Every structure is written in C-alpha cells, then in structure tokens.
C-alpha cells in the first residue's frame, strides 16, 4: 500500500506542473495523510520494540523469540519505507531522517540476530541438561 | 530386548491403524518385522543416529526407515520411526512414528522436534507413564 502510494505521488509530482493549485494541495494532503499513517504504524512498532528491549535487558530470550516477527516487521517495513522514499521526489527533504532510520533498523537487525543466537544457545543448554538427566535415568 | 513407548507414540500408532482404508493398518506388524531377528548391536548400528544421549555413546536417538506392507511401499516411502535405544540395557523406547505418504504423510520432523522427543521421554519416565510393549506379541501394549 505504501509503495503504491509513493509511486502515485511520484507520478503525480512529475505531472505537477500541469495541475491546478487545488489539485496540488489535495495531492499533498493525501500524501501527508498516508505519511501520518505510516508514521503511526512505525511508532506502534517501535513502541513494541521498546518493550522487547526491556525483555532483553531482563534476560528473557523466550519472550523476545515469541515476538520475533515484530522485529522482522520493523526491519521489513523500515527498509521498504527507506527504499520507497529514496525513489520519491521528496527524498532530499527527509534524507537525514532516513539515514537515522536506517541506522536504527541496522541496530534492530543486530539485536534480532543476537536474540536468536542467545535463544538457540540457551535451548541447546536446556537440551543438553535433558539428555544428561535421561542418560542417568535410562 | 525390552520395549517401551511414550504416549505420543501410542496416540500416533492408534491414529494410523484405526482405519483400514488409510493404508497404515499393518504399522505395528511392520515395526515388529524391523526389530525381529536383529540383535541390539545391529539395531544400534542401523542408520540414522540423530544424536547420542550419553557421553559413552551407549544410548542413541535413532530415526529408521520402515516399509509399509499394507501399501506395498519400500522403506524409503514407508514410515519413519523415532526411538531411543540403550545398548547396555537392551531397551528400546518408541517415541514417534510417521508415514512418508498417504493421508497422514509427513515430509520430515522439524529440527527442534528431537529435543521435544527427548523431553517427552524424560517426562514419561519421571511420571512413570511408559507403556510396556512386547515384541513377541507384535509390539502390542502389555496390560
């Protein structure tokens, strides 16, 4: 939906010179509305991220791994936003914000990989403990 | 050789053998055929060992191929049986079985499932919840 909207805006921007003032304003208003929706979605995702970060701090890898799709969604959505806005004519206006966002998402990706590694390690430890106990009982 | 099964295996075996038309009716007979006339070492050496449970490599988690005589399927297309074998104590613990084809056909077990199987067996032992099975009686549960 976001990608389609941005394409529409790009097409609209290319044709902007042929449009009336009112059309331009309406398109910009639509664009702002979409942007606000994207930002709201991202904000809610980043709020979830915040609570996941607290779970990591509290050393609860299970909690995080169960919500790993939130991290994946943040990564996918942010990358697609960055890619789409780069194609947009408004890119130069929000370049700094996009760079900041790509830095954040890079960190999110690292966190996700760390969490998965930590979870797998703790799972392996649990598995080894089960095997040890089984070997004693069998 | 002593045989036990966990509830997960019992449930799966019941489900598969319940209806003749599903083509798994001979499951227990086919499993019996696999174990019959083999000594513990031969079974222990059968492919595939998924992992060793103990450090001295006397207890192993195995996955073996078993033909399906009901559907006349080779071992490749038949069943996969997951069990733990203790070579020293000559004991086999049946954990899970699944067919490769048919109504309940399954491609493979998930990578993390092996740890679930071992956990299931540990719980069954701790709760004294193992079903004894007799090879000479086609692996039926002994009352």
Question: Do β-strands B131-134 and B140-141 pair in parallel, antiparallel, or remain unpaired?
Answer: antiparallel
pLDDT higher than 80, residue B15: yes
CA-based nearest distance B82→chain A, Å: 16
Please give the ipTM for the structure prediction.
0.81
Cβ proximity of A53 and A70 under 8 Å? no
Specify the pLDDT at position B131: 93
B-chain residues within 8 Å CB-CB of A138? Answer: 53-54, 59, 84, 86, 89, 91, 93, 125
B95, B82 in Cβ contact below 8 A? yes
Who's near B80: CB < 8 A, 6+ residues apart? B63, B64, B65, B66, B97, B98, B100, B106, B108, B109
Report the distance separating Cα B10 and Cα B25, nearest Å: 14
Mean per-residue pLDDT pooled into runs of 10, chain A (138 residues): 61 60 79 77 76 68 67 79 71 72 80 74 80 91
Query: What is residue A6's predicted lDDT score, i.e. its pLDDT?
Result: 61
- pLDDT, tens digit, for every residue of B59-118? 999 999 999 998 888 888 899 999 999 999 999 999 999 999 888 888 777 766 788 889
What pLDDT is attached to residue A92?
67
Residue B92 touches chain A, beta carbons under 8 Å: no
Do A118 and A126 contact (CB within 8 A), yes or no? no
Task: Find, among B16, B6, B4, the residue nearest to B98 by Cα.
Answer: B16
pLDDT confidence bin for B32, thresholds 50/70/90: very high
Question: Which tokens sit at A27?
Answer: 């398109």
Strands B2-5 and B91-99: parallel
């Amino acid at each position: 939906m976001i990608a389609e909207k941005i394409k529409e805006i790009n097409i609209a921007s290319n044709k902007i010179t042929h449009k009336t003032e009112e059309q331009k304003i309406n398109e910009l208003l639509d664009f702002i509305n979409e942007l606000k929706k994207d930002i709201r979605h991202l904000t809610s995702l980043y709020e979830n991220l915040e609570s996941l970060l607290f779970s990591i701090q509290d050393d609860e890898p299970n909690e995080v791994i169960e919500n790993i799709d939130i991290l994946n969604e943040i990564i996918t959505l942010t990358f697609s936003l960055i890619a789409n806005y780069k194609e947009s004519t408004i890119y130069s206006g929000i370049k700094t914000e996009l760079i900041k966002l790509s830095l954040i998402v890079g960190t999110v990706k690292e966190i996700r990989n760390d969490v998965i590694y930590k979870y797998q390690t703790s799972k392996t430890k649990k598995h080894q403990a089960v095997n040890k106990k089984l070997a004693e009982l069998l | 050789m002593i045989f036990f099964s966990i509830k997960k295996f019992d449930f799966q075996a019941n489900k598969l053998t319940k209806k003749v038309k599903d083509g798994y009716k001979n499951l227990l007979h086919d499993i019996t055929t696999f174990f019959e006339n083999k000594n513990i070492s031969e079974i222990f050496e059968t492919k595939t060992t998924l992992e060793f449970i103990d450090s001295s490599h006397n207890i192993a988690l195995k996955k073996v191929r078993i033909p399906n005589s009901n559907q006349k399927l080779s071992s490749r297309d038949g069943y996969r049986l997951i069990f733990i074998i203790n070579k020293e104590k000559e004991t086999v613990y049946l954990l899970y079985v699944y067919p490769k084809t048919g109504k309940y056909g399954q491609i493979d077990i998930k990578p993390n499932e092996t740890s679930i199987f071992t956990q299931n067996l540990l719980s069954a032992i701790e709760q004294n919840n193992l079903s004894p099975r007799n090879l000479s009686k086609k692996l039926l549960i002994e009352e």
